[in-house]
Amino acid sequence: MELFLNTFYFFGDVPAGDDLVGITFWIGTMAMMAASVFFFLNLNAVDSKWRSSILVSGLITFIAAVHYMYMRDAHAGGESTTIFRYVDWILTVPLMCVEFYLILKAAGATTKHLRLLIWASVAMLLTGYVGEAGLGDAAIWGGLSGLAYFYIVYLIKWGELAKLAEKAGGSVLSAHKMLVNFVIIGWAIYPIGYMIGTGDGMWYEFMSSWVAAENIDLVYNIGDSINKIGFGLVVYNLAVSK
> Are the beta carbons of 47 and 239 closer than 8 angstroms?
yes
What is the Cα–Cα distance from 168 to 170, expressed in whole angstroms?
7
What is the Cα–Cα distance from 76 to 178, expressed in whole angstroms?
35
pLDDT tens digits, one per residue of 44-79: 999 999 999 999 999 999 999 999 999 999 998 989
Summarize the confidence of residues 202-207 as an average pLDDT: 60
Using alpha carbons, select from 98, 230, 237 the residue that is nearest to residue 172.
Answer: 237
Task: Tell me 16's DSSP state.
Answer: P
pLDDT at residue 103, as a whole number = 96
Q: Which residues, at least 6 apart from 128, have a Cβ–Cβ distance to it below 8 Å?
A: 86, 141, 142, 145, 190, 194
Instruction: Identify the CATH class of 2-241.
Output: mainly alpha
pLDDT at residue 42, as a whole number = 95
> Residue 111: pLDDT band by 50, 70, 90 thresholds?
very high
